[in-house]
């Protein structure tokens, strides 16, 4: 029978199937961080259980950690949580990349960069952006702490097979339009609940042309439109990216692995439960104006009138968003002045993202009164960026070059917006208070973030004067 | 997990859609390493507004939260479920939930009922007109009843059984440990091993 990529990965991991019960799925890789694991380890201790497969489990420190130094966690509650992770990993025998380790970083950057994320795997983490790993053709999804405990104890999860959706992105992205613009436009088109109940496969020529970094950006935001997971078929781009990385198979194992990975893409006559289409060639730089990732628009647009939406529920949400974001309908998005620009996160904290931002900033300055933070997704990304001299571009422009971590994505560590501050952020969520209580977030691509830092208001690189032109 | 069969209580009408888990409990409360005591974090930013519905004394003691669509979207934080439980909620009613939140809730005995938008609006109107309206949530019959009206809801048989028995997933899975071990014997040689 013809099957989709997701179905093939699923079928290869069914430990047990019984009528009227969810399938019991085997988990190939379990990623841990400090925030969603302490209660799970406590549960193991209370029940006298062990971690079943420490060799399939790996931890890092990212959400809570400072990005201005590697030594001191000033907040005692944060410090306790980090120390708890360290204690739990030592007690249960789990490998950990702590603050200061060369592989430390945001969990969804740390995994792929080491070659831990591979096609055909099942990957879970107590973090909703686990969907990132779907870019490699892995079935990867976020779980809650009870499920973290379940995977620690059994290396499996009971799961009901979700429905299958294909998102076909036709055409070619215009110059200056990136994977981030693509996924933001898709989420606005489909709504925050549009993917709910589905495993999504992104396909079509515009997806095939994306780099692995771009694919990770797309898969990363699957959860923002409610999808369980977001996969992309493995291809030559995937194999080339993986080859030679620490945990990639070596020698004849590599050949066996690639031969298997080539069997994974969706069969030509496989049937999806739902199909969605997007024309990449019609896309422009895209930003959010509201307080959920589905409230977005082309950078060329104006703040919409809340009364223009189809349903009362959308109208009410838009009214509230416009009020919270302190916006006036009809204002061009380009007129919105920002206080802070954040480049980083599991969505856009990879080397390619930093290169894009640096290309825009080279020879330019961050506008007066604007604070720009550049936060590499991992210590390894930071080291690579420094080898290329990107840090010098950022600091010369007046941006802050920081250590790796989740930073200003989530308002949990010292990097936060102050009440009323407005940001252009390459992260994934513009929820009320997400970047700090009372903060106002506009989600943007790395290119738009950098251009916005230069002008002080939402901008694309095409809006900038040529360097040295004045 | 506490067994769930039928729960009767009063309700809070939360007339908002897209109530993401960052609103249910902001990230600053996630630094704790305990599993209880999260009631102070529940909707903490919104609760600073005196007009927020949870601050209205007529809804004190309510145990059913009736919310708009896309409730619990966003972050996977199970703390959102713990905060609702710790505050005293046993049931949430909404037209649609974020997947991870829904899964978390059903593992923690917080019954998340899906009813159509029209039913949610009727419940909002009923509760706002009379905050003492008793909402009866019957998991056995898979039905919500209030003020002489009733609405059927769907919930998978297996999940329903697990909630009614108050069963712990890990215990259920470990009954199949032999199957897990057998599966592990056939994993491909090129698979990733961390250690």
Q: Is B61 exposed, middle or buried (0-12, 13-18, 19+ CB in 10 A)?
A: exposed
Ordered DSSP codes for B98-141: -HHHHHHHHHTT-EEEE--HHHHHHHHHHHHH-TT--EEEETTT
Task: Tell me, yes or no, whether A381 lies in a domain.
Answer: yes
Identify the residue with better confidence: A386 or B192: A386
Whether residue A27 is found in the same domain as residue A128: yes
Whether residue A373 is found in the same domain as residue A255: no
Does the CB of B175 have a partner CB in chain A at under 8 Å? no
- Under 8 Å between Cβ of A325 and A291: yes
Q: pLDDT value at position B189?
A: 87
Whether residue A259 is found in the same domain as residue A157: yes
Provide the mean pLDDT of chain A: 97
Taking residues A440-462, report their average pLDDT.
98
Q: Is the pLDDT score of B195 beyond 90?
A: no
Share above pLDDT 70 across residues of chain A, in percent, rounded to a whole number: 100
Q: Tell me the C-alpha distance between A254 and A258, whole Å.
A: 6
CATH number of the domain at A245, please. 3.30.499.10
DSSP conformational letter for A302 = B
Q: What is the CA radius of gyration of chain B?
A: 19
Task: Tell me, yes or no, whether A288 lies in a domain.
Answer: no
Q: What is the pLDDT of residues B12-30, one digit of tens each?
A: 999 999 999 999 999 999 9
Task: Tell me, yes or no, whether A315 lies in a domain.
Answer: no
User: Hey, are the CB atoms on B174 and A153 less than 8 Å from each other?
Assistant: yes
Q: Is the pLDDT score of A470 beyond 70?
A: no
Domain that holds residue A217: 5-274
Task: Tell me, yes or no, whether A284 lies in a domain.
Answer: no
pLDDT classification of A1: cutoffs 50, 70, 90: confident
pLDDT classification of A271: cutoffs 50, 70, 90: very high
Q: What is the pLDDT of residues A413-432, one digit of tens each?
A: 999 999 999 999 999 999 99
When CB atoms are compared, the residue of A95, A223, A412 closest to B27 is A412
Q: What is the pLDDT of residues A234-265, one digit of tens each?
A: 999 999 999 999 999 999 999 999 999 999 99
Whether residue A70 is found in the same domain as residue A189: yes
Q: Is the pLDDT score of A467 beyond 90?
A: no
Q: Is the pLDDT score of A123 beyond 60?
A: yes
Q: What is the pLDDT of residues B80-115, one digit of tens each?
A: 999 999 999 999 999 999 999 999 999 999 999 999
Task: Tell me, yes or no, whether A311 lies in a domain.
Answer: no
Q: pLDDT value at position B162?
A: 94
Calculate the alpha carbon distances from A103 to A57, A111, B13, B142 in Å. 15, 9, 47, 49
Distance from CA of A396 to the nearest CA of B (A): 33
Taking residues A125-153, report their average pLDDT.
98
Does the CB of A92 have a partner CB in chain B at under 8 Å? no
Whether residue A240 is found in the same domain as residue A359: no
Domains, in order of start, for chain B: 6-184 (3.20.19.10)
Residue with tokens 């799961």: A159
Interacting residues of B148 by C-beta distance below 8 A, sequence separation 6+: none
Q: pLDDT value at position A469?
A: 63
Task: Tell me, yes or no, whether A321 lies in a domain.
Answer: no
Whether residue A158 is found in the same domain as residue A87: yes
Task: Tell me, yes or no, whether A64 lies in a domain.
Answer: yes
Whether residue A226 is found in the same domain as residue A341: no
Q: Tell me the C-alpha distance between A381 and A257, whole Å.
A: 26
Q: Tell me the C-alpha distance between B97 and B99, whole Å.
A: 6
Q: Is the pLDDT score of A468 beyond 80?
A: no
Size of chain B, expressed as the number of residues it contains: 195
Distance from CA of B139 to the nearest CA of A (A): 18
Q: pLDDT value at position A466?
A: 86
Q: pLDDT value at position B168?
A: 85
What residues in B contact A63, CB-CB < 8 Å?
Answer: 27, 30
pLDDT classification of A44: cutoffs 50, 70, 90: very high
Q: pLDDT value at position A153?
A: 98
Taking residue A76's Cβ as centre, other Cβ atoms within 10 Å add up to 9
Q: What is the pLDDT of residues B123-166, one digit of tens each?
A: 999 999 999 999 999 999 999 999 999 999 999 999 999 999 99
When CB atoms are compared, the residue of B20, B104, B156 closest to A292 is B20
Q: Tell me the C-alpha distance between A249 and B114, whole Å.
A: 45
Task: Tell me, yes or no, whether A434 lies in a domain.
Answer: yes
Q: Tell me the C-alpha distance between A135 and A121, whole Å.
A: 11
Q: Provide the number of structural domains found in chain A.
A: 2
User: Hey, are the CB atoms on B103 and A249 less than 8 Å from each other?
Assistant: no
């Amino acid at each position: 029978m013809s099957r989709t990529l997701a179905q093939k990965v699923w079928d290869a991991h069914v430990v047990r199937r019984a009528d009227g019960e969810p399938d019991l799925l085997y988990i190939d890789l379990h990623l841990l961080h400090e925030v969603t694991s302490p209660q799970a380890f406590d549960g193991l201790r209370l029940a006298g259980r062990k971690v079943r497969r420490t060799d399939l489990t790996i931890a890092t420190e990212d959400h809570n950690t400072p990005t201005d130094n590697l030594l001191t966690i000033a907040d005692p509650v944060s410090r306790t949580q980090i120390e708890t992770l360290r204690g739990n990993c030592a007690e249960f025998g789990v490998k950990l990349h702590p603050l200061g380790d060369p592989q430390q970083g945001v969990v969804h950057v740390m995994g792929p960069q080491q070659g831990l994320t591979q096609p055909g795997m099942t990957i879970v983490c107590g973090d909703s952006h686990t969907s990132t790993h779907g870019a490699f053709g892995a079935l990867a999804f976020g779980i809650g702490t009870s499920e973290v405990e379940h995977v620690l104890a059994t290396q499996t999860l009971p799961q009901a097979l979700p429905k299958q959706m294909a998102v076909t992105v036709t055409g070619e992205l215009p110059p200056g339009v990136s994977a981030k613009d693509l996924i933001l436009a898709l989420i606005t088109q489909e709504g925050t609940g549009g993917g709910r109940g589905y495993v999504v496969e992104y396909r079509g020529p515009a997806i095939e042309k994306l780099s692995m970094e771009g694919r990770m950006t797309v898969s990363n935001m699957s959860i923002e439109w409610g999808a369980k997971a977001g996969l992309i078929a493995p291809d030559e781009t995937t194999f080339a990216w993986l080859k030679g990385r620490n945990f990639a198979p070596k020698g004849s194992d590599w050949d066996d692995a690639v031969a298997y990975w080539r069997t994974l893409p969706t069969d030509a006559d496989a049937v999806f439960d739902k199909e969605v289409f997007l024309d990449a060639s019609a896309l422009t730089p895209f930003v959010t104006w509201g307080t959920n990732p589905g409230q977005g628009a082309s950078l060329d647009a104006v703040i919409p009138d809340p009364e223009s939406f189809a349903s009362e529920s959308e109208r009410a949400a838009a009214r509230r968003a416009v009020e919270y974001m302190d916006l006036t309908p009809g204002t061009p998005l380009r007129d919105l002045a920002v206080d802070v620009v954040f480049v980083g996160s599991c969505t856009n904290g990879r080397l390619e993202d930093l290169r894009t931002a640096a290309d825009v900033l080279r020879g330019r300055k961050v506008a007066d009164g604007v604070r720009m933070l550049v936060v590499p997704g991992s210590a390894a990304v930071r080291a690579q960026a420094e080898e290329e001299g990107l840090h010098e571009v950022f600091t010369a422009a007046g941006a802050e070059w920081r250590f790796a971590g989740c930073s200003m994505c989530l308002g949990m560590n010292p990097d936060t917006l102050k009440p009323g501050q407005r940001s252009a952020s390459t992260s994934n969520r513009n929820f009320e208070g997400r970047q700090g209580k009372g903060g106002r977030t506009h989600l943007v691509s790395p290119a738009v973030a950098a251009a916005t830092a230069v002008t002080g208001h939402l901008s694309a690189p095409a809006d900038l004067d040529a360097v040295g032109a004045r | 997990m506490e067994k769930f069969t039928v729960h009767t209580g009063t309700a809070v009408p939360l007339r908002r859609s897209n109530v993401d888990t960052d609103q249910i409990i902001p990230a600053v409360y996630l630094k704790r390493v305990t599993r209880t005591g999260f009631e102070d974090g529940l909707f903490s930013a919104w609760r600073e507004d005196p007009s927020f519905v949870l601050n209205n004394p007529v809804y004190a003691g309510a145990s059913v939260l009736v919310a708009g669509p896309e409730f619990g979207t966003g972050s996977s934080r199970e703390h959102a479920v713990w905060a609702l439980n710790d505050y005293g909620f046993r049931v949430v009613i909404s037209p649609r939930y974020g997947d991870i939140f829904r899964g978390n809730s059903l593992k923690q005995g917080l019954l998340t009922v899906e009813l159509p938008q029209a039913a949610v609006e009727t419940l909002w109107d009923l509760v706002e007109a009379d905050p003492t309206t008793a909402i009866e949530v019957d998991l056995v019959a898979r039905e919500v009843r209030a003020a002489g009206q009733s609405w059927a809801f769907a919930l998978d048989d297996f999940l329903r059984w697990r909630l009614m028995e108050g069963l712990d997933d890990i215990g259920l899975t470990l009954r199949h440990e032999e199957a897990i071990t057998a599966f592990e014997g056939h994993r491909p040689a090129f698979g990733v091993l961390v250690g």
